[in-house]
Amino acid sequence: MDRDELKRQAGWRAAEYVESGMAIGLGSGSTARYATLRIGELLRLGRLHDVVAVPTSDETEALAREAGIPLTTLEEHPRLAVTIDGADEVDPALNLIKGLGGYLLREKIVAYATECEIIVVDPTKLVDRLGTKAPVPVEVVRFGWQNTRSALEETGARPVLRMRDNAPYITDEGNLILDCWYDGGLSDPQALSAELNSIPGVVENGLFLGMTAAVVIAAPEGTRVIQST
């Protein structure tokens, strides 16, 4: 079973959390994509109805429109019943690192507005400590970003400006991303998140702490769900 098939299984399992009449959030990334496609299919089959969705990126918005999912906004639906999204790392407490896809700001805004945040991953995303496989993405404004990078270094990070096609990567909101590597991982994610967000120029960071209701994991031996305690 290849990795794409595992992602599809996780996305389909997560789509089962969506019920008719819900306002939901649609996450970004390769695994969440399968959930979006499945929700669109269930709507076309008539097994779901009266579902509206808030996308977390321009990419997901285009995918949802193509799949036939009616879209809405947080202004129209400030509380969402369910959001299905992916993650770059998941620790045993279901804390996350997100943002390698570049959409962490909108994803966190939508997650904050969500009653039940469902994360879909394959087993490679499970870690004992956050920051051991993935950097912490930090979205920063372009003005004075070098000063912001210097301040991030004072937190113990090795910040790397994210590039794409030989140019700085620009988020949907027009910002830069500095990927912050911490040797040995993160000993205190809560304290680090607060410290990062206190730096002028930082818009948001990719630590999603205490926001996850359940993680759907697809593995060759079968799909399993870990619920938050």
Plot region of 89 (φ>0 → left; ψ -120 to 50 → alpha; else → beta): beta
Return the sign of the alpha-carbon dihedral for residues 131, 156, 145, 162.
negative
Q: Which one from 19, 59, 75, 107 is the annotated catalytic residue?
A: 107
* Other beta carbons within 10 Å of 163: 10
What is each CA distance from 188 to 95, 129, 184, 195, 229, in whole angstroms? 12, 10, 12, 11, 20
Q: Is 216 exposed, middle or buried (0-12, 13-18, 19+ CB in 10 A)?
A: buried
Give the whole-angstrom CA distance, residue 176 versus residue 162: 7
Burial of 47 (0-12, 13-18, 19+ CB in 10 A): exposed
CA quadruple 129, 132, 133, 135: dihedral sign: positive
Closest residue by Cα to residue 135 from 168, 170, 102: 102
107 in catalytic set: yes
Q: How far apart are the first and last CA of the chain?
A: 31
CB 73 within 8 A of CB 26: no
Give the residue numbers annotated as catalytic, written as ranges. 107
